[in-house]
Amino acid sequence: MTRVYNFNAGPAALPLEVLTKAQSELLDLSGSGMSVMEMSHRSKEFQSVVDEAESKVRQLMGISDNYKVLFLQGGASLQFAMIPMNLRAQGQVADYVDTGSWASKAIKEAKLGGAANVAWSGKEENYVRMPLQSEMNLSSDAAYVHICSNETIGGIRYSAFPKTDAPLIADMSSEIMSRVIDVNNFGMIYAGAQKNIGPSGLALVIIRNDLIERTPDTTPIFLRYKTHADDGSLYNTPNTWGIYILKLVMEWMESLGGIAAVQKINEAKAGALYSTIDSSDFWRSPVNKADRSIMNVVWRLPSEELETAFVSEAKKAGMIGLKGHRSVGGIRASIYNAVPVAAIDALVEFMNDFEKKNG
Ligand SMILES: *Cc1c(COP(=O)(O)O)cnc(C)c1O
């Protein structure tokens, strides 16, 4: 068996320990004689999977009883639609900060069926930075303020989050559990699981109790947060496999010492890449230094031809997923929690060799 160094943006690398554990339990989960995919979502075996997944998420992130933790389907993209349908009343405005591709997608959904105020947009500058607090034109009566905390394609992230009077809602898909945050500063946090915490088709939603009560009666039952909160994420058949893998990822996070410990590793990983990029004019980071993501590292080479060669030679050397998103080009290394330090070491060595040959 050969495992590649996986720099995919999502779905992305999962910890080898998690895959091995899942493999060992695949035919018989805790003496049930079945895999997790074959058992009733109402069984006591599966109930304990959901309960453990939730309690581990709560413990790792320090989430108080004031918030619900939900496991929903439809990925992060369904949240773009559910948020305005649940949290913005008829005639009310919601504020959005446009920091890149993902924030823009959320704005598109919010513009349907109500008012969305774009409080700041980085589009004219090609999304190379996050806004300063003073640059945002927030509404005085906003239902909420929506941000994307880490732009997966642009490679930027907030080093400090905006201060808002209205509840702050953050799409943390590509950085959830990569750094310590204070959940209490947010009204809601959500993430598609397939970057840092599990497989695709599963979204983690952390939502403050009072917000769950806001939903207008016209919102379809299935699309209400309250429906899923009242039934402990088991209103209908959930993504049982996804929740199970998420639980294993949480156990793996615990084994590493929790989010603070993982953050240290992440900062060292990102630091090694950025210092290689900064070490010579051959490489160029297109984004504002203070806003550089520690999950999605983007950079350019002197020409597109060299970028193409870089990606294909890296692939031959066992490193995959380094091509930048088709909308922006260049190189992107997604270095989520599960990407091992050895992968970064190999990439840095490869970069140094590549520069010697082509610089
Ligand atoms: C990947 C991603 C999404 C979309 O997630 P899906 O699960 O595919 O809907 C949304 N926001 C961000 C920041 C992402 O990285």
- Number of structural domains found in the chain: 2
Query: What is d(CA 154, CA 150) in angstroms, rounded to the nearest whole number?
Result: 9
pLDDT score recorded for residue 39: 97
pTM, rounded to two decimals: 0.98
**305 lies in the same domain as 252:** no
Specify if 185 maps to a domain: yes
CB under 8 Å, gap of 24 or more: what pairs does 134-141 form? 136/95, 136/97, 136/162, 138/95, 138/164, 138/165, 138/166, 139/93, 139/95, 139/166, 140/165, 141/92, 141/93
Residue 139's contacts (CB-CB under 8 Å, 6 or more residues apart) are: 93, 95, 117, 119, 166
**241 lies in the same domain as 96:** yes
**39 lies in the same domain as 128:** yes
Token digits of residue 56? 């581990």
Taking the CA atoms of the chain, what radius of gyration do you get in angstroms?
21
- Out of 256, 291, 314, pick the residue that ends a domain: 256
**230 lies in the same domain as 314:** no
- Out of 227, 256, 285, pick the residue that ends a domain: 256
Concatenated DSSP letters of 282-295? TSB--S-GGGB-SS
8, containing H or E segment:
none
Asked if 38 and 236 touch (Cβ cutoff 8 Å), the reply is no
Does residue 152's CB lie within 6 angstroms of at least one atom of ligand 1?
yes
**190 lies in the same domain as 208:** yes
pLDDT score recorded for residue 320: 98
CATH (domain of 262) = 3.90.1150.10
Give CA torsion, residues 222, 228, 231, 236, to 10 deg.
50
Q: Is 244 helix (H, G, I), strand (E, B) or coil?
A: helix
Does residue 10's CB lie within 6 angstroms of at least one atom of ligand 1?
yes
Catalytic residue check, 241? no
Beta strand ranges found along 122-225 (DSSP E): 145-148, 150-151, 156-157, 168-171, 188-192, 203-208
**105 lies in the same domain as 232:** yes
Specify if 1 maps to a domain: no
Query: For residue 146, how far is the Cα from the chain centroid?
Result: 15
Which is the closest atom of ligand 1 to the Cα of 77? 9
Closest CA to 16 of 346, 252, 241: 252
**239 lies in the same domain as 295:** no
**262 lies in the same domain as 240:** no
Query: What is d(CA 33, CA 55) in angstroms, rounded to the nearest whole number?
Result: 25
Catalytic residue check, 102? yes
pLDDT score recorded for residue 205: 98
Write down the catalytic residue from 56, 98, 120, 195.
Answer: 195
Q: Which residues pair with 145 in a beta bridge?
A: 95, 168
pLDDT in tens, the chain (359 residues): 789 999 999 999 999 999 999 999 999 999 999 999 999 999 999 999 999 999 999 999 999 999 999 999 999 999 999 999 999 999 999 999 999 999 999 999 999 989 999 999 999 999 999 999 999 999 999 999 999 999 999 999 999 999 999 999 999 999 999 999 999 999 999 999 999 999 999 999 999 999 999 999 999 999 999 999 999 999 999 999 999 999 999 999 999 999 999 999 999 999 999 999 999 999 999 999 999 999 999 999 999 999 999 999 999 999 999 999 998 999 999 999 999 999 999 999 999 999 999 98
Specify if 134 maps to a domain: yes
- Out of 256, 271, 306, pick the residue that ends a domain: 256
**239 lies in the same domain as 106:** yes
User: Ligand 1: which residue has its CA nearest to atom 14?
Assistant: 173
Q: How far is the CA of 41 from the centre of ligand 1 (A)?
A: 26
**213 lies in the same domain as 193:** yes
259-278 and 341-358 helices, crossing angle to 10°: 0
Catalytic residue check, 108? no
Write down the catalytic residue from 68, 95, 120, 171.
Answer: 171
**300 lies in the same domain as 248:** no
pLDDT score recorded for residue 13: 98
Write down the catalytic residue from 102, 252, 283, 299.
Answer: 102
pLDDT score recorded for residue 2: 87
Does residue 239's CB lie within 6 angstroms of at least one atom of ligand 1?
no
Q: Which domain holds residue 116?
A: 16-256
**252 lies in the same domain as 272:** no
